[in-house]
Structure 1
Amino acid sequence: MARVLVDATSVPADRGGVGRYLDGLLGAVGTLLSDDLSVVAQRSDQERYQQMLPQARVIAAPAAAAHRPARLAWEQTGLPILAQQVSAEVLHSPFYTCPLRASCPVTVTVHDATFFTEPEHYDASRRTFFRSAIRTSMRRAARVIVPSKATRDELIRLLDADPTRIDVAYHGVDPAAFHAPTDEEKARVRARLGLTGDYVAFLGAKEPRKNVPNLIRGWVLAVRDLPNPPALVVAGGSGHDDDIDRAATEVPAHLRLIRPGYLRYADLPGFLGGALVAAYPSYGEGFGLPVLEAMACGAPVLTTPRLSLPEVGGDAVAYTTEDPERIAKDLLALLDDEPRRKTLARAGLLRATEFTWAASAEAHIAAWQRAITDVKR
């Protein structure tokens, strides 16, 4: 087995998508690599990863690495030195950026190409930084790991990337964390959110690419004339989409829009599985982890057929477009059709079982082994 150092210092404190990716991946990799795995993490995460990976070597990064500019500088200088110290045969960087020089092969995860395909949904500084980081990683990394065929194809189309150096490793879902909820789990979330009736759920970052403003407007159009209109609960971290606030001011007084921010991890099955519909009308995703997690919780899902989302949802989800009028039409059709919602919920539960972190770990390890083999040639 390869001796691998994984850089987990990019994991945010909120354990969003990147955190769930690394947590799920490392938990599965740890069982396969055992003491051949080293992980460097923020000091605040060291104990957490040590408990998760008792046989791995978990190292705390310098305290300054908690700040992004310092972390990026340490990535170029301290991380390659650490790879030497732990005798790593391959170094994995899981979030777009990677060291330009190291004594061992470097692999990097590029999560999506939307900084190129959907540039209008990012502010100029973020767009410029990640475009540059992706181009650099595509040139410098021994291998690039992507979470979907759609992302691979976009990198090839847009950046003329070498397809022989790109490996697809789908994300997985943890069935212990995301499962069909009990009535008690649903009731607990309803009580926390102050819900007395039905609701439509959104879970994700408040970024323009997620299309939350049009979801709000589409929900208003769909439910405003219903006798018992379901609420819309928009949960997840804060972002940089000011249009969400504008859309919120347009909601009629008799409708209820709830924006609780982050929900506790333990509440997510009850939140997603207790919804009439989990709506995710994104402009495009590199994978679409919230869609998979909603399916695993038994929620009927409404999403778009953009980029990777059909690879995740297949025939087990309903599709719409990004504009509010079509979202309204397709959402109302689901709200009016309980048998279809139940069919989608069952299909989603079954399809979600196809995406495991064990399979993702095996695909990553295969990519790491290829990186080592390529260097030895």
Structure 2
Amino acid sequence: MTAGSPPRVLVDATSVPADRGGVGRYVDGLLGALGAIGPDRLDLAVVAQRSDAERYSRMLVNAEVIAGPSAVAHRPARLAWEQTGLPLLAQQVGAKVLHSPFYTCPLRAGCPVTVTVHDATFFTEPEHYDNTKRTFFRSAIKTSLRRAARVIVPSKATRDELIRLLDADPTHIDVAYHGVDQTAFHAPTEEEKARVRARLGLTDAGYVAFLGAKEPRKNVPNLIRGWARAVADWPRPPALVIAGGQGHDDDIDRAVAEVPSHLRLLRPGYLRYADLPGFLGGALVACYPSFGEGFGLPILEAMACATPVLTTPRLSLPEVGGDAVAYTTEDPDRIAEDLADLLHDEPRRLTLAKAGFDRAKEFTWAGSAEVHVATWNRVAV
């Protein structure tokens, strides 16, 4: 690094999963915005899984993209490489800062490390995680708070919980809200909506949408029970479509078994990325009655698709939704009541759809990238 030149930053993108869930959306969105920052302000290097390296190389014309060893596709090997191979790579590329975007970081990196801690729900909602996952991420968060030069979080709520629960130093935490790709997530055309309905075999009765991981924290079983109670007496009841990965919530199957036979519930698994606007934007309501989120990217993506959203006022969700979404609780009876009210009130749905669409424009990956760059400049040696 010469006088006046930006410090070289190495971003470790090897934790991005193939399914492009939350961490994938974050890393992809952030890197896309970082790639638009000129080399006079950012000297960027990225290490990624081999399956991602070519795509990132096309996207990041001003960055050096390195393919990590093939073994990092498997989590245990990636975590081991993070402690040994990643610090060596940082030294080889001349990194002045190393950014780890998913909770963990090398203990001895040879340069300042910044870490993204996405949420504190492993502490606030421990009952919604299995013991192995809870223990691992609690330890990782505590270690990152202790060893990282600075920590980046996606919401003020997450920052406040880390301070309250773990006595984290507030002067070492930066809030960088996630953004939403408004090309990928947009108000869909009627053709896009119709294509998704045809693929899912949906009728004109409409549907309620959920898109996300099937983790206990997402409260999908109570969503199923609440939806079933809300629409049970409708002559043409809207379906419930639960899309995304399968997850590990056994209570979902029990809730599904309780659904009356005349109601239709679909679980299509992962949808094509190109179909997400049509899926979300074609729904009567997108419902996310979560017990708590570090940010709440699914509700922001639904808002960007001009979909009325029903969620809970837990942790960061009001920071994202503000007055542009409707709120309920985690209880199935209250979900049923609030969902029914919204389904019966088309003018309110239209108002929320417009308000959410406008509010989503405030959350950009460019803004998130600027916070990240400012953080790296603060710690660069």
CA distance in 2, matches of 1:146, 1:2: 22
Within the candidate set 138, 144, 156, 2:151 is matched to 144
Q: Which runs of 5+ in 2 are unaligned?
A: 1-5
Within the candidate set 171, 178, 181, 2:188 is matched to 181
Aligned twin of 2:34: 29
Q: Which runs of 5+ in 1 are unaligned?
A: none
Equivalent positions of 1:18-167 (< 5 A) are 18-34=23-39, 36-167=43-174
- 1:177-209 alpha-carbon deviations (Å, 9 max, x no partner): 000000000000001100012000000000000
Greater mean alpha carbon deviation, residues 44-53 or residues 333-342? 44-53
Within the candidate set 331, 353, 356, 1:348 is matched to 356
CA distance in 1, matches of 2:152, 2:248: 27
Q: Is the 8 A contact 2:118 2:158 kept in 1?
A: yes
Q: Is the 8 A contact 2:38 2:62 kept in 1?
A: no
Shift of 1:67: 1.0
Q: List, as ranges, runs of 4+ consecutive aligned residues in structure 1 with deviation greater than 6 Å.
A: none
CA distance in 2, matches of 1:83, 1:350: 41
- 1:67-126 alpha-carbon deviations (Å, 9 max, x no partner): 111100100011011111111110000000001111210000000000000000000000
How many residue pairs are counted as aligned between the two chains? Answer: 373
1:280 aligned partner, one-letter code: Y
CA distance in 2, matches of 1:279, 1:33: 39
Aligned twin of 1:17: 22
Shift of 1:164: 0.3
Q: Secondary structure at the match of 1:91?
A: strand
Within the candidate set 363, 371, 377, 1:369 is matched to 377
CA distance in 2, matches of 1:79, 1:194: 47
Residues 1:233 and 2:241 aligned together: yes
Q: How high is the sequence identity, in percent, across the aligned residues?
A: 82
Residues 1:268 and 2:273 aligned together: no
Equivalent positions of 1:175-254 (< 5 A) are 175-197=182-204, 198-254=206-262
CA distance in 1, matches of 2:119, 2:379: 21
CA distance in 1, matches of 2:34, 2:172: 21
Q: Secondary structure at the match of 1:32?
A: coil
Given the two structures, how large is their TM-score scaled by the length of structure 1? Answer: 0.98
Greater mean alpha carbon deviation, residues 96-105 or residues 150-159? 96-105
Shift of 1:33: 4.8
CA distance in 2, matches of 1:102, 1:66: 21
